[in-house]
Structures are given as C-alpha cells and as structure tokens.
C-alpha cells in the first residue's frame, strides 16, 4: 500500500490540538459555515449519501441512508445521540479523537444535527473516560462561546444544544436502543425493533444514533466532497450486489502481542498482516502469531494463515467473521493457549449480558462455565460440540434475542471450535492447566 497521509489524525500530537483557536487556524468549522450558509439540510444528507460513508461503530450501515429514515415533515423535536460508550475490548479509537482533536468530531456533530434538523444532541460517553469528558466539555463550552452552538448559528435560524451524558460502564449501552434507555434514566435493556430509533427513539421522538468516528468523517466529506472520500478505500465488489463499498479513512487499533500497540489511520482495505508488520512493529519477543481478533472480540477470530484478509466491510465475512467491527486488531502469539483466549472472551460476555433475553443470559453463562471447566483441566470432548451448538443458536440472527450481543458472544467461540479444534481437543485430552492471560494493550 502506498504512503498514506492521515486525515482524522492529522492534528493529533500537534501542540494545542484540543483548543478551538488552533482548530479554527487549521481550517476548522469552515465545513459547518459552508453547510449552514450555502446548503440545505437535504443537500448535506445527499452529500453524505453520495460519499458512501458507512458507520464506523461496528455495523457498517450507510450513514446518509440512515438519516433518511426520519419521518418526513416531523414537527420535532428530533434528537441526535452520539455513541461514545466505546466498551468493546481493545477498542480506543474514539478516545483518541475525543481527547486529542475534539472539535473535529464536534463539528461533525453540529453538521449532522443540521442535516437531520435535530434541536438537541446528546453525547453518550463511557464513564471511565474521565479525560475525554473534561476535554469534550471544554470544547463544547468554547463552541458555545464562539457561536457554533446555541441559537441562530451563523444567523440562519439554526439552533442546537449539546449535552454530555456519562454512562455507568455497561457494554450493552453500545447498542443504540440500550444507549437510549440509559439516556432516559432507565435500565439499559435494548428495545424490540421496530419501531426503530429514527421513528421512535429518545423520549419516544425520532432519533439518529451515530458513532464518534463516523461523525468525524462527516466533517471532511462536507469540506472536501464525496469524490475525495470515495478516492480512499475499496469500491463495491461487482460480484456481491449487497456490498455498498468500503470508502474513506479508518482508525485501527493494534494491541495484544505486538511491539508497538496503538492507534493508526489507514484506508479501508489494508490487510491484517500489513497492519501488524508495518504499524504494529511485528509480533513481540521474536515470536510468531497464532491468530488475531480482527475487529473487536465480538467479530470473531482468525488464524495466522488468514492475516492477508483485507480490513474492509466485506473482507472479514470471507473468513467466517461477523464483520469489520470497530477495527480493533488484537494479536496473540504462538505461545498463547486458545483456551485462555476463549476463557477471557466468554467471561466478558457473560458479565456484560444485560440478562433480558434468556438465550443470551443463559448461553453466555453456559459457555463461560464450560471454558472455565476446560481451562481447569476437567473438559470433555463433547464440550466442543456443546459450545458450537450454543454459539450458533443464540443471537438476533438466529432470531432468539432482541439485540446482537449474543451474536458477538457466540462468534469467536464457533470460530475457535472450527479453526483451532485440534488444539482444543489436545488441551482437553491432556487435561492441561494454564495461567490467566493478560493481553498487552487492552484497556
């Protein structure tokens, strides 16, 4: 891949990157002025649709299309909810944007609110992100002081209030309706859909929910145009009529057993191998990789032989993974037991299941108990079949749960049973006990 000039991270590391004056000096808020003074909301939506922007939060749904689901001519209020919960293990790209260049993202929030005619925007923030909260609150205060928030923005009758809302550390709040329930002060149980949030969301009013990285991209699409955005990334696969393309820049996290964990920016379509070797400094301690989690643990597991998989919205599905997810790649080396990896994954999902749906509540707990028993040297060969059956029969796609947490819990388990079966069978046969695994770079 040729050298790539960062867009979303171009100001990160620059002195005063969090200040509004520095942002304005670098051309900040020009896209907002352009949109509010020369474009209609419909034109902004059409611009984002034309760019082919897909959500960076995990699902990859076309952003501009999502905005069109709002009821036509609704008298309001319409709400914008921004997902800054970021509780997917080993994912921290949103945190970098919030803490190092908050106005880039905030401009995207204001642009989106203008496009969807929202009066109020709520930024739902993971509670553990204390520095993000402080930096964002200062950015919001400064934007009010400069007239980019508040009433009659640019003298065009556009009004917007932005509020930070801190969650309570629950993974389920990353699901959009769970987020909305929590925002309303209730237990974060995902809602049955339909109705979808665009029709009936926060406070039973039309609501758009978008991810932080997604809205940062909106800023650049409005400023530079759809053709620029589509010049980056991967066009649709002509053999796949459902592929909407994978356009634009993407933030990737690299963690686990690599020499240089961190956050990097690259075009969609970079391979896992290039990400690890070029940006992650290779596998640590001179070892070889056994496998990796390509996009957050809910997306599944790949073997080292699958590292040439492109990290776009279409690539992971070709190696039996759930999708691109958040773009968080976690590497585990050849000396790491796949049992330890699965034990940590199932323990996490068992803890984070909200418990509303019986298949998820019981299934995640069941998988965790089986892995715990296998890890203690008391596994049985038939446990692998049980794990595979449970993993395949819980989730929104089999039609047994309200949200996709169970799908994410089951995917790495069925991947591992399929791709690492010989190792799992050997472990059970030997009754080997291991110590707990801690992934370097995990937060």
Where residue 441 falls among pLDDT bands split at 50, 70, 90? Answer: very low
Question: What pLDDT was estimated at residue 242?
Answer: 84
Phi, psi of 266 (to 5 degrees): -150, 160
The rounded mean pLDDT for the chain is: 94
Domain architecture of the chain: domains with CATH: 20-231 (3.40.50.11540), 246-333 (3.10.20.600), 338-430 (1.20.1440.230)
CA distances from 122 to 49, 113, 116, 183, 206 (A): 23, 11, 14, 8, 13
- In the beta sheet, which residues pair with residue 252? 264
Residue 441 CB-half CA count within 13 A: 23
- In the beta sheet, which residues pair with residue 211? 83
Distance in angstroms (rounded) separating the CA atoms of residues 139 and 233:
30
240-260 pLDDT per residue, tens: 888 889 999 999 999 999 999
Give the Cβ contact number of residue 288 at 10 Å.
10
The 3-class secondary structure across 294-336, one letter per residue, is CCCHHHCCEEHHHCCCECCCCCHHHHCCCCCCCCEEEEEECCC
154-174 pLDDT per residue, tens: 999 999 999 999 998 899 999
Residue 252 is inside which H or E element, if any? strand 249-256
Contact 289, 330 (CB under 8 A): no
292-316 pLDDT per residue, tens: 999 999 999 999 999 999 999 999 9
Distance in angstroms (rounded) separating the CA atoms of residues 256 and 259:
9
Residue 65 is inside which H or E element, if any? helix 63-67
Q: Does residue 434 carry a pLDDT above 70?
A: no
Residue 374 is inside which H or E element, if any? helix 358-375
Residue 108 is inside which H or E element, if any? helix 102-116
- In the beta sheet, which residues pair with residue 271? 310
90-106 pLDDT per residue, tens: 999 999 999 999 999 99
Contact 272, 302 (CB under 8 A): yes
3-state secondary structure of 234: strand
The pTM assigned to this predicted structure is: 0.93
Distance in angstroms (rounded) separating the CA atoms of residues 140 and 124:
14
3-state secondary structure of 267: strand
Q: Residue for token digits 């003074």?
A: 37
Structure tokens at 284: 């640590």
């Amino acid at each position: 891949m040729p050298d790539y000039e960062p867009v979303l991270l171009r100001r990160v590391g620059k002195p005063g990157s969090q200040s509004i004056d520095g942002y304005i000096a670098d051309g900040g808020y020009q896209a907002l002025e352009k949109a509010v003074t020369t474009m209609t909301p419909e034109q902004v939506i059409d611009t984002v649709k034309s760019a082919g922007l897909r959500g960076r939060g995990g699902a990859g749904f076309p952003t501009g299309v999502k905005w069109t689901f709002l009821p036509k001519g609704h008298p309001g209020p319409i709400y914008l909810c921004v997902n800054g919960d970021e509780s997917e293990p080993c994912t921290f790209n949103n945190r970098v944007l919030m803490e190092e260049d908050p106005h880039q993202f905030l401009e995207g929030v204001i642009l989106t609110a203008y496009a969807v005619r929202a009066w109020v925007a709520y930024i739902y923030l993971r509670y553990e992100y204390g520095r993000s909260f402080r930096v964002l609150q200062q950015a919001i205060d400064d934007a009010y002081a400069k007239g980019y928030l508040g009433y009659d923005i640019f003298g065009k009758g556009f009004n917007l209030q932005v509020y930070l809302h801190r969650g309570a550390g629950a993974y389920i709040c990353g699901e959009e309706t769970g987020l909305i329930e929590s925002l309303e002060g209730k237990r974060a149980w995902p809602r049955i859909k339909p109705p979808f949030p665009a029709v009936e969301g926060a406070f039973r009013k039309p609501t758009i929910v978008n991810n932080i990285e997604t809205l940062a991209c909106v800023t650049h699409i409005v400023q530079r145009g759809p053709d620029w955005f589509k010049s980056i990334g991967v066009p649709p696969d002509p053999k796949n009529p459902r592929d909407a393309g994978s356009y634009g820049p993407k933030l990737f996290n690299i963690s686990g057993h690599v020499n240089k964990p961190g956050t990097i920016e690259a075009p969609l379509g970079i391979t896992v191998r290039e990400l690890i070797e070029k940006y992650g400094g290779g596998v640590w301690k001179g070892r070889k990789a056994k496998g990796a989690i390509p996009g957050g643990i809910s997306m599944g597991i790949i073997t080292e032989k699958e590292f040439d998989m492109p990290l776009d919205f279409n690539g992971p599905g070709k190696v039996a993974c759930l999708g691109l997810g958040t773009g968080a790649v976690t590497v585990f080396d050849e000396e790491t037991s796949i049992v330890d990896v699965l034990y940590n994954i199932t323990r996490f999902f068992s803890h984070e299941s909200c418990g509303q749906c019986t298949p998820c509540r019981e299934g995640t707990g069941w998988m965790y108990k089986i892995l715990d028993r296998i890890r203690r040297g008391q596994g049985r060969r038939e446990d692998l079949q049980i794990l595979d059956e449970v993993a395949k029969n819980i989730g929104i796609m089999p039609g047994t749960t309200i949200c996709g947490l169970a799908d994410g819990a089951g995917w790495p388990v069925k991947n591992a049973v399929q791709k690492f079966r010989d190792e799992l069978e050997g472990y059970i046969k030997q009754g080997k006990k291991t110590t707990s695994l801690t992934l370097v770079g995990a937060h």
